[in-house]
Chain A
Amino acid sequence: QKEVEQNSGPLSVPEGAIASLNCTYSDRGSQSFFWYRQYSGKSPELIMFIYSNGDKEDGRFTAQLNKASQYVSLLIRDSQPSDSATYLCAVKGFNFNKFYFGSGTKLNVKP
């Protein structure tokens, strides 16, 4: 079983819609959760991190964490074509400073 699971996609949404990206993790001791955006041919770029149950909002992005269900998600409101990228979920595991990455979900926002 992988430490972090993501649907590879592609997830296609029309411009202006809400994109919902999901991630599950296996280690109940995980402490911190991160979302990265990676454009094709570029390195990952941090979008948000969350460590408490509930929602955290930053502009058009909302991260949601449910530790009981071992589930973290990223919502992108008013999706734009420029949001088209692969979104990586990362979890900081029980080993305090080691990060576990999912394989990423490819998002396509259609104009």
Chain B
Amino acid sequence: GAGVSQSPSNKVTEKGKDVELRCDPISGHTALYWYRQSLGQGLEFLIYFQGNSAPDKSGLPSDRFSAERTGGSVSTLTIQRTQQEDSAVYLCASSLVKASGIGEQFFGPGTRLTVL
């Protein structure tokens, strides 16, 4: 079956421009996560969506970052007025929330963002 897909795979932008990153989760997965990974670093949690509940935005680093999830499926992460420190790989993951509570995450291939 289809896994998590992300687009674009690579994005090069100029400082100050806005960018939109897209994530298409595995069909039927109700939970969707965005992470950021800088070179050689671990995963930094950004935001998480679960069904129709309000998203957990506690990891967004500044108000330049926002995300939405339309129709409980596709999600878009928007970064406004990009800065060079925003350069990283942005990873999306989805999981199926089960009654047992065990919902392993599956990751997309990531979007590599480079801000010049």
Judge: A and B partners, yes or no.
Answer: yes
Chain A interface residue count, CB cutoff 8 Å, equals 24
Interface residues of A in 42-72 (CB under 8 A from B): 42-46, 49, 51
**Residues in A neighbouring B107, C-beta threshold 8 A:** 36, 43-45
Given contacts A43-B91, A97-B48, A101-B42, A49 and B104 within 8 Å (CB-CB)? yes
Q: Which residues from chain B sit less than 8 Å from chain A, CB to CB?
A: 31, 33, 35, 41-43, 45, 48, 50, 56, 91, 95, 97, 101-110
* Extra 19 A-B pairs, beta carbons < 8 Å, given A46-B106, A97-B103: A32-B101, A32-B104, A36-B107, A43-B91, A43-B107, A43-B110, A44-B43, A90-B105, A96-B101, A97-B31, A97-B95, A98-B45, A98-B48, A98-B56, A99-B33, A99-B45, A99-B105, A103-B41, A104-B42
